[in-house]
Structure 1
Amino acid sequence: MVLVTGAAGFVGSVVVGRLVERGVRVRVLVHRVGMPVGVGVGVEEVWGDLAGASSLRGLCEGVGTVLHLASRIGGSPGELRAVNVEGTRALLVEARRAGVVRFVQLGTAAVYGDGPFRGVGEGELVERPGSVTSGTRLAGERLVLAAGGTVVRPHLVFGRGDRWVVPALVGLLGRLPFWVEGGRARASMISVDALAGVLAELAVRGEVWGGVLHAGHPEPVSGRELVETVAGGLGLALPVGEVDLAGALDLLGGVGGVDPVWARRVRLLAVDHWFDSGRLWSGLAVSPGPGFAEAFGACASWYRETALA
């Protein structure tokens, strides 16, 4: 049996579907009564709250693999730590008590900070999280690694269910209709379908594979390709003219300076953030799928009709 946390989320819902398709018995942690997981029959739902260790007692009984895909993104420092650090710690305790063989956590490349990063592999960077959210997620990741688990770190994930990457880009283009740094910066991206395939494979493979794994398509995406593909698929106007990063931040700023959220978004577009994922793709019998343009084309209608409606 595979236990999945975060099963109702963007990535988790696709992962559970993949496991069910493969005939794997799945147990999901549901932290709100009545929360729709939407994965069909054959999935066992167990109520529990990562912020309440006592509610997790017995959760891992009979489980061979834990896929820990849940994390808290916003909230106070205390709320973030309660889920991302202490919740992970409590789940590891239950996994150890039940004799779980594999523990895989969905992490984030955001723990590395602002960059630039150009083709770097696992273990080549010192983590420098730039927010409380990233800091608490890193603390949770370190607990998993210390216990011999695996942490999968994607950078930008897109596809059906995405409420952040493409919507944030569209919002940025509305406020800043210029090519930032000429669109030359490159970023690691992965479709939610490819990422779900990776996580499902890690859940059932015979070998227990610990450590950090970068998860991105082998070909990074330039800012120009990203903007042209999204604009073309969604019927948006292309940027006109060019501005450097400093100029972009000035344009986004007001009397009180640029909002940190917008500053981070423009830096993601203006500064290289691409990571070597060769270890993952050479070691797993799964495919990274088509390149960004083709993969985005397959879900552009969903963005038009749902995420950006």
Structure 2
Amino acid sequence: MDKTVQKQFKRVVVTGGAGFIGANYVHYALSAHPDWQIVVLDKLTYAGNLENLEAVLHRIEFIQGDIANPADARKALQGADAVLNFAAESHVDRSLLDARAFVRTNIEGTLVLLEAARQAGVRRFLQVSTDEVYGDLSGTDRHSLETDPFRPRSPYAASKAGAEHLVLAYGISHGLDVVITRGSNTYGPYQYPEKIIPLFITNALEDKPLPIYGDGSAVRDYMHALDHAAGIDLVLHRGAAGEAYNLGAREQVSGVQVAEAILAALGKPATLKKFVADRPGHDYRYSVDPSKAEALGWVRRYSFSRGLAETIEWYVQNPSWWQRVRAKKEHQSLMQTWYGQR
């Protein structure tokens, strides 16, 4: 049978579905596949927020649980056709402070899910990964290909690379139908304000400095969350078993450019830019070649300028969401620990 024939699903499990990219995918999937039964499994850590799903909670089944807990995984996967694993510790800065949670969730949690999927007879397992597994491309003009070797340079990236190896091993060893997406830096609504774009937006709205690492020249390929969701959904349905697919926006934007665009959009002064000490082992360029996903039919809707404008507007229109997050002691502690002495 042709491995790229479009697959059909009825009951789909989205782990980490109350987080940023996961929640955006849930909203996308409910629109694209209104007949789906969607089960969201989320531990509701600091980055998980049921408010992200408030408008659709009546249309999904929500289970609060940990992907690293076998009982929680078995419960969520019962009767599932497909699993999309968004659940992850995902912030590089946090992984530099304490890598243990990253190993537990990103590696051990993925292993638990894979075993539960195998036992439940799940028809497809999609692992949401990152372009950071490829490492730093600074000093070159090339774009990472799916066949490139892994060179992760942070505990976060290393944990995601390890998870990928487990996913592919389960495909080979146990015949589990697995696919992987490697997404570039993503932005949009519901993003926890420790990442650069929501941090800069919310700081600017409160007339606080925008902390820019080093000289601000590090570039990322910023992709809107709904474009990311569409790419993941296409790979779920049409990706070839055992294959990985890069998802990127084909845009290169530096940290300084992000800060300047946000300040200009909000009418804030350039004096809010604050250059801070670089983080250890900072990768200065990521860039993937998404041709393989594009060949499946993936088409992006958002330019960076349009996506950033809509994202800024979302944060402007939803102050109660991000103010509640920023008011939490955990968030304030991280900001002080990480940026206070920089």
Q: Aligned ranges for residues 5-20 of structure 1 at < 5 Å?
A: 5-20=15-30
8 A contact 1:189–1:216 mirrored in 2: yes
Q: CA RMSD in A?
A: 3.4
The equivalent residue for 2:243 is 211
The equivalent residue for 1:188 is 221
Rate the CA distance shift 1:207–1:282 in 2: closer, same or farther, 3 A: closer
The equivalent residue for 1:243 is none
Determine the C-alpha separation between the residues in 2 that align with 1:32 and 1:298. 26
8 A contact 1:179–1:239 mirrored in 2: no
The equivalent residue for 1:244 is none
Provide the TM-score with structure 2 as the length reference. 0.71
User: Cα offset for 1:259?
Assistant: 4.7
1:114 correspondence with 2:136: yes
Rate the CA distance shift 1:215–1:123 in 2: closer, same or farther, 3 A: closer
8 A contact 1:216–1:277 mirrored in 2: yes
The equivalent residue for 1:27 is 39
8 A contact 1:118–1:275 mirrored in 2: no
For the residue of structure 1 that corresponds to 2:76, the secondary structure is coil
User: Cα offset for 1:252?
Assistant: 3.4
Q: Aligned ranges for residues 28-43 of structure 1 at < 5 Å?
A: 28-32=40-44, 36=50, 37-38=53-54, 39-43=56-60
User: Cα offset for 1:202?
Assistant: 3.1
Rate the CA distance shift 1:118–1:145 in 2: closer, same or farther, 3 A: farther
User: Per-residue CA shift, 1:87-138, capped at 9, x if unaligned?
Assistant: 1111111111122121111111222233326342423533222222221221
Determine the C-alpha separation between the residues in 2 that align with 1:177 and 1:113. 18
User: Per-residue CA shift, 1:37-70, capped at 9, x if unaligned?
Assistant: 4223231223431222233224323211110000
Rate the CA distance shift 1:143–1:135 in 2: closer, same or farther, 3 A: same
Provide the TM-score with structure 1 as the length reference. 0.78
Rate the CA distance shift 1:155–1:56 in 2: closer, same or farther, 3 A: same
The equivalent residue for 1:245 is none
For the residue of structure 1 that corresponds to 2:245, the secondary structure is strand
Determine the C-alpha separation between the residues in 1 that align with 2:30 and 2:147. 36
8 A contact 2:238–2:296 mirrored in 1: no
Determine the C-alpha separation between the residues in 2 that align with 1:118 and 1:41. 47
Q: Aligned ranges for residues 111-190 of structure 1 at < 5 Å?
A: 111-116=133-138, 118-148=141-171, 149-162=178-191, 163=193, 164-168=195-199, 174-175=210-211, 180=216, 186-190=219-223
Rate the CA distance shift 1:208–1:35 in 2: closer, same or farther, 3 A: same
Q: Aligned ranges for residues 1-309 of structure 1 at < 5 Å?
A: 1-21=11-31, 22-23=33-34, 24-32=36-44, 36=50, 37-38=53-54, 39-73=56-90, 74=94, 76-116=98-138, 118-148=141-171, 149-162=178-191, 163=193, 164-168=195-199, 174-175=210-211, 180=216, 186-203=219-236, 205=237, 208-221=240-253, 225-238=257-270, 252-253=276-277, 259-260=279-280, 264=282, 271-284=284-297, 286-304=298-316, 306=319, 307=322
Determine the C-alpha separation between the residues in 2 that align with 1:277 and 1:207. 13
Q: Tell me how many residue pairs correspond in the alignment.
A: 285
8 A contact 2:13–2:82 mirrored in 1: yes
User: Per-residue CA shift, 1:121-180, capped at 9, x if unaligned?
Assistant: 423533222222221221112111223322211221111122213145567974559974
Q: Which structure 2 residue ranges, 5 or more long, are not aligned?
A: 1-10, 172-177, 327-342
User: Cα offset for 1:296?
Assistant: 1.2
8 A contact 1:120–1:274 mirrored in 2: yes
Q: Which structure 1 residue ranges, 5 or more long, are not aligned?
A: 241-247
Q: Which amino acid aligns with 2:285?
A: D
Instruction: Choose 188-197 or 52-61, whichever is displaced more.
Output: 52-61
User: Cα offset for 1:209?
Assistant: 4.1
Determine the C-alpha separation between the residues in 2 that align with 1:70 and 1:206. 22
Determine the C-alpha separation between the residues in 2 that align with 1:35 and 1:225. 29
Rate the CA distance shift 1:71–1:298 in 2: closer, same or farther, 3 A: same
Rate the CA distance shift 1:212–1:2 in 2: closer, same or farther, 3 A: same
Determine the C-alpha separation between the residues in 2 that align with 1:156 and 1:303. 18
Instruction: Choose 119-128 or 95-104, whichever is displaced more.
Output: 119-128
Instruction: Choose 216-225 or 15-24, whichever is displaced more.
Output: 216-225
